[in-house]
Structure 1
Amino acid sequence: MLKSKKLSKTERAILEIFWEAEGPLIFKEIMELVNERLGKDWKKQTVNTYLTALQNAGLLHADKRCARAYFYSPVYTKEQYKQLCVKELLEDSFDNSISNFIATFTGGKKLSKKDAEEIKKYI
């Protein structure tokens, strides 16, 4: 299982760009999208640093499909990534117990009937 590192806001925003893309992106496209969507004027080296960090974290895959270009794509969908993060949180902080998580989340207070019914749907 992925042992996620805490992502910075920028790393998360870059992952969002990949999740919204309709397929793998080449570096030029990434540069344009990052600078446009994040309101930056970054140089290639800065963007490459973030891409390398995401690759090292096991969240981004680079595939060299041709001699001059890498195609970058996320390893996990957004939903898969959220599931991994929640699973890791449960394992590391709540002894892998959903009931311990809910008790902490609610501050030890009982759930409303509505909330309890919603949770039952997933059991």
Structure 2
Amino acid sequence: MKLKLFDSELKVMEMLWNHGDCTAGQLAKLLKEETGWNRNTTYTVIKKCIEKGAIERCEPNFLCRAVVRREEIQAAETEELIDRMFDGSKSKFFAAFLSGQSLSKEELEELRQMLKQAGQEEA
């Protein structure tokens, strides 16, 4: 699924991913505490997320449920970034990411394991 969410929509999705299903009223309260949004702003963003298919509305009480997982959105955002900034080249992305970076031994080992696993999945 290729779904583009804007920052405001991601804020609503983060609340659902972190807190589970919430009513629109609960989301409005959480987002007021975190971002200062008023109820109308939250409801407008929820509506946009519903229209995009990221959230489904259920009864009772306008219960909101995330339809897409965080990992799906992360993958789509990462793919878009690599396409836009690195001509679709993952190796250029990694080279840019690693330049000037200081990684711990644990992070390096984690990356090695990911690369090894990705190579096994290709085979």
Does the TM-score normalized on the shorter chain lie above 0.5?
yes
CA distance in 2, matches of 1:3, 1:95: 20
Number of equivalences:
114
| Structure 1 unaligned residues grouped into runs of 5+ | none
Query: Which residue of structure 2 lines up, in the alignment, with residue 76 of structure 1?
Result: 68
1:58 and 1:103 map into 2 onto residues whose CA distance is 35
Write the distance in 1 (CA, Å) between the matches of 2:110 and 2:25.
45
Distance change >3 Å, CA 27–CA 104, structure 1 → 2: same
| Aligned equivalent of 1:122 | 114
Alpha carbons of structure 1 residues 117 and 39: separation in structure 2 relative to 1, 3 Å: same
RMSD between aligned residues:
3.1
**What is the identity, as a one-letter code, of the residue corresponding to 2:95?**
A
Residue 105 (structure 1) aligns with: 97
In the TM superposition, what is the alpha-carbon distance from 1:49 to its structure 2 partner? 0.9
Identity %: 21
Displacement of 1:101 after TM fit?
A: 1.0
Paired position in structure 1 for 2:26: 29
Q: Is the 8 A contact 1:59 1:75 kept in 2?
A: yes
TM-score (norm 2): 0.66
Counterpart Cα distance in 1 of 2:42 and 2:109: 46
> Any unmatched runs of 5+ in structure 2?
116-123
Q: Which has the higher strand share?
A: 1
Structure with the higher fraction of residues in helix conformation: 2
Deviations 1:10-63 (A, max 9, x none): 4333222111113x21222222222223234x14x3221111222234322223
